[in-house]
Structure 1
Amino acid sequence: MRLDGGHPALDLVNTVYGQVGQPPEDDVLRAPEDLMTFATRVGVAADASSTAALEAARRLRTACERAFRDDDPTGLEAAARRAYRAGTLRRGGWTWEDADPMSAVHRLAHAAAQLLADDDALARLRGCHDCCWLYLDRSKNRSRKWCSMEDCGTNAKKRRYVEKRRALS
């Protein structure tokens, strides 16, 4: 489970491997335990998960992809409204009960809504030139082209090298 998006909401979108517009090649979120692992790794962990929370996370993933890739925030807005109804606003921000299996999904919806409202971060939102993943380009000159240099960047450089060698022969 790679986390190359630079934000929990983008990492959620990136839990599906494959090409944009094509059927998914792999889905990291297959079981409630996978959601718990993912939530822990991105810092929105809860004490419990459930099949309902897993399905809600998958729906949120689709809503986030539509919001960030297609500029259609309708689904994300609905998820954020559900999250805020279930949460409590306290000094320091929104909180959700760790015992609630949906709390990780609510925290992800909240994080996604915050990202969508952050114009500076959205100006750095990019799609990988090699795969379907989204990421925040935090490079100094904002010229990052791949989700990860280790994978997609290396693959692109290999392809260019092979093409160059073929052209020379």
Structure 2
Amino acid sequence: MVETPPTAANMRLDGGHPALDLVNTIYGQVGQPPEHDVLQTPEDLRTFAARVGVGHEADAAAVKAARDLRAACEAAFRDADADALAVHARAAYAAGRLEPGGWTWPDEDPLSIVHRLAHAATQLISSEDLDRLRGCNDCCWLYLDRSKNRSRKWCSMADCGTNAKKRRYVEKRRLSRP
């Protein structure tokens, strides 16, 4: 069976936060070359942004900026190195406007998606939710563990959790054979 690569329209959004879903747009193991990148075109970024609720305008420069922000978010959330994220945050706040109710960015600005994602990432890294940040035991995606006892091991029970349980079952059966 040939697996079709995920797209911005059908990728799982299991991160529990837009900034984590951004990090999860790249498929592969941490520290290895990426197997697949969901953000290839402005249309991909528009689709992703609409799905996570951060806008709908994008161009080629916004795709590059989103990919740069993704790398900055990954460094911040995996390695606690927030320097690059701070650069993106400063750019976002310089382009935005603080109004009653929070920060806003003009919808017609193609970089507004990136600015909103940078803002979301800074909110997450400075929030109490950061202690719920986990990496999936199977695929290495990042997610917020919102389970009651904070014991979630997989980004998604439907995918990675099921795969892990299948592997355990097969191994158990293999070992129980005479």
TM-score range, shorter chain: over 0.9
Provide the TM-score with structure 1 as the length reference.
0.97
**Secondary structure in 2 aligned to 1:123?**
helix
The answer for the alignment partner of 1:85 in structure 2 is: 94
The answer for the alignment partner of 2:162 in structure 1 is: 154
1:57-111, Cα deviation, whole Å (9 max, x unpaired): 0000000000000000011000000000000000000000000000000000000
Report the alpha carbon displacement of residue 22 of structure 1 after superposing the two structures with TM: 1.1
Cα distance in 2 for residues equivalent to 1:151 and 1:134: 14
Q: Which runs of 5+ in 2 are unaligned?
A: 1-10
Q: Select the structure with the greater relative contact order (CA < 8 A; seq sep ≥ 6).
A: 1
The residue identity in structure 1 corresponding to 2:105 is W
The answer for the alignment partner of 1:16 in structure 2 is: 26
Alignment of 1:11-160 (within 5 A): 11-46=21-56, 48-118=57-127, 120-160=128-168
Aligned residues: 167
Cα distance in 2 for residues equivalent to 1:75 and 1:89: 22
- Pairwise CA RMSD: 0.6
Query: Which of structure 1's runs of 4+ aligned residues deviate more than 2 A?
Result: none
The percent identity for this pair of structures is 73
| Residue 164 (str. 1) matches residue 172 (str. 2) | yes
Q: Is this contact kept in 2: 1:17–1:132, CA < 8 A?
A: no
The residue identity in structure 1 corresponding to 2:52 is V
Cα distance in 1 for residues equivalent to 2:156 and 2:27: 14
Cα distance in 2 for residues equivalent to 1:23 and 1:147: 21
Q: Which runs of 5+ in 1 are unaligned?
A: none
The residue identity in structure 2 corresponding to 1:161 is Y
Cα distance in 2 for residues equivalent to 1:2 and 1:102: 24
